[in-house]
Amino acid sequence: MSLYSQVLRPLLFQTTDPEKLHRTVITGCSILGKFPVVYPALDAYFTVTDSRLRQNLWGLIFPAPLGLAAGFDKNADGVNIWSHLGFGFAEIGSVTRHGQPGNPPPRLFRLPEDEAVINRMGFNNDGADVVAQKLVHQQSAIPLGINLGKSKITPLEEAPEDYCYSFEKLYSFGDYFVVNVSSPNTPGLRELQNVTRLEEIFKALQAVNSAQKPLLVKIAPDLADADIDAVVDLAQSYGLAGVIATNTTIGREGLKNIRAKAEAGGLSGAPVRQRSTEVIRKIYRRTEGKLLIIGVGGIFHPQDAWEKMAAGASLLQTYTGWIYEGPHLPYLIHRGLLNLMEQQGLKHLSEIVGRDV
């Protein structure tokens, strides 16, 4: 039990509205990012530098496996700072072609008894043009992913053009890109996981992917097994670089918080942990380890990280765990993974990947 989870978290959770707190943290990170003088102190506190954690994937160096998941830094406000808070990579977005306000508040709910969050933000973001402007002035010391969503006003048939606009606008700033077709909060979006629709999007994006930057697809934990296979097969046939598994779930099984059960939106955190690991395992088996997997969903402890890697994930991301466990989470996960590796006699992180499959 840390000071954060015993004292600070209960205080923050009781006294602040979740969205207000999120805005405050983003503003703080954006300000910190403007003062390189603080970077060494942050590094000393939050980062773990160890060659056993370092991976070269798609020609990019990931100094550590745990990254910041999409949705926290939707507008690229903290790009300078994420490496100094211990993350091995960061993913901004989802960014849509058109700036949009998202759904009306309240739209973000904490479920402490379930170690979970429900959100129905609805891709609130400044839009690709504004985000591109912000990226001009920032520099990420770690690989930067850009997660692309579909604008609410764009009909499903025009989704390929909508994704392409953002992709081209942001192309020079991202090290990898993600097609997000799995958020539950944009009406119809998840229908784009249907292979016919998805194929049009992959085809359009790969046609303008001049430098062959890694393109990934992010999927929902609610997909049936046959649909996961279909998406993964399609991803392989269009030369995608990987899959992110998974987004939030529309399921509500086993929740203790009965009141929150009725809130619409995507559920994240501990309740999605097991299903997301199952999806990772399924993808790894299907592709025989040939498609890189970023595992996300309910990572709170080193054991959770280990399980996702052992199921086949080469990289990991966190959102809800970071809120619940506090800013030290990347440090604790990376240290914990090193300890587990030592216990198992492993010399490098990559030896964990797929070992349980």
- Over the window 139 to 178, marking each residue x when it contacts ligand FMN by CB under 6 A and - when it does not, the resulting string is --------x-------------------------------
State the minimum distance, in angstroms, from the CB of residue 264 to ligand FMN: 14
Q: How many residues bind ligand FMN (CB under 6 A)?
A: 28
- What are the CA-CA distances from residue 26 to residues 21, 61, 77, 228 (Å)? 9, 26, 7, 34
Residue 276 CB, nearest distance to ligand FMN (Å)?
7
The SS3 call for residue 56 is strand
What contacts 105, CB < 8 A, 6 or more positions away? 19
12's tokens: 């923050």
Indicate whether 353 belongs to the interface with ligand FMN (CB under 6 A). Answer: no
Binding segment toward ligand FMN, per CB under 6 A, in 3-11, 64-72, 188-196, 304-312: 64-72
Neighbour-count burial of 174, counting CB atoms closer than 10 A to its CB (0-12 exposed, 13-18 middle, 19+ buried)? buried
What is the Cα–Cα distance from 43 to 35, expressed in whole angstroms? Answer: 13
The first and second tokens of residue 342, run together, are 């030592």
In angstroms, give the least distance from the CB of 324 to ligand FMN: 9
Q: What angle do CA 153, 159, 162 make, to 5 degrees?
A: 75
**Which residue among the candidates 151, 183, 268, 314 is catalytic per the annotation?**
183
Task: Establish whether the linkage from the previous residue to 106 is cis, with ω within 30° of 0.
Answer: yes
Per-residue x/- track, 244-263, ligand FMN (CB under 6 A): ---xx---------------
Choose the binding region for ligand FMN from 78-86, 117-125, 199-207, 232-240 (rule: CB under 6 A).
117-125
Active site residue 30: no
Options 48, 57, 92, 121; binder of ligand FMN; rule CB under 6 A: 121
Which residue, 52 or 261, has its beta carbon nearer to ligand FMN?
261
Sign of the C-alpha dihedral computed for residues 321, 326, 330 and 336 taken in this order: negative
Nearest to 88 by CA among 143, 42, 43, 33: 143
Binding region for ligand FMN (CB under 6 A): 69-71, 74, 93-94, 108, 117, 119, 121, 123, 147, 180, 183, 218, 247-248, 268-269, 272, 296-299, 318-321
